[in-house]
Amino acid sequence: MAEVTVSPEAFLAMGREVLAAQPFSRLIRAELAAFSRGRCELHVPVSESVKQQHGFVHGGVVSYAADNALTYAGGSALGMPVVTAEFKINYLRPAIGDRLIARAEAVHTGKTQSVCRCDVFILKDGEEKLCAVAQGTIAALSPKT
């Protein structure tokens, strides 16, 4: 079977279509900044509505960004519909800034699952600071359901 070559632009456009189909990702205005096989960069612009009581980005939003970036990295590495099977996140510092940037990449990809890592940065005054690191397993959708 011939493998269809997808241009980088088409690949990113495809990823953005999936993100746009997620009501929750629209709700928090997540953006797919970069997307290629086994790699992803996901942004969440910081608005009042994604914060917690101290003015930091809510941990749940940071974990959303990590989770979704891991899924994109693993899903594109596997080349099939996937779900996040599990992940772990360490929060390193309060996320205070203008934009959350999650960069994930597949570390090892088998037939039905991919183990990925993610770094989450907070952009403030043009400077990125690492605010969380995550690691998790992305699994092909079929064996899970």
Distance CA 137, CA 145 (A): 16
SS3 20: helix
Choice from 2, 3, 125, 145 touching its own copies (CB under 8 A): 145
Q: According to the binding rule CB under 8 A, does residue 127 interact with its own copies?
A: no
DSSP 19: H
Write down the least CB distance from residue 5 to its own copies, Å: 25
Stretch that binds its own copies, among 7-15, 32-40, 72-80, 82-90 (CB under 8 A): 82-90
DSSP code per residue over 64-86: HHHHHHHHHHHHHHHTS-EEEEE
Q: According to the binding rule CB under 8 A, does residue 12 interact with its own copies?
A: no
Distance CA 33, CA 22 (A): 16
Stretch that binds its own copies, among 7-15, 32-40, 81-89, 120-128 (CB under 8 A): 81-89
Looking at the DSSP bridge assignments, the partners of residue 43 are 31, 101
DSSP 56: S
**Residue placing its CB nearer to its own copies in the complex, 3 or 57:** 57
**Residue placing its CB nearer to its own copies in the complex, 5 or 53:** 53
Amino acid at 81: P
**Residue placing its CB nearer to its own copies in the complex, 76 or 113:** 113
DSSP 130: E
What is the contact surface with its own copies in residues (CB under 8 A)? 18, 21-28, 48-53, 58-61, 63-65, 67-68, 71, 83-94, 107-108, 110-113, 115, 117, 130, 133-137, 143-145
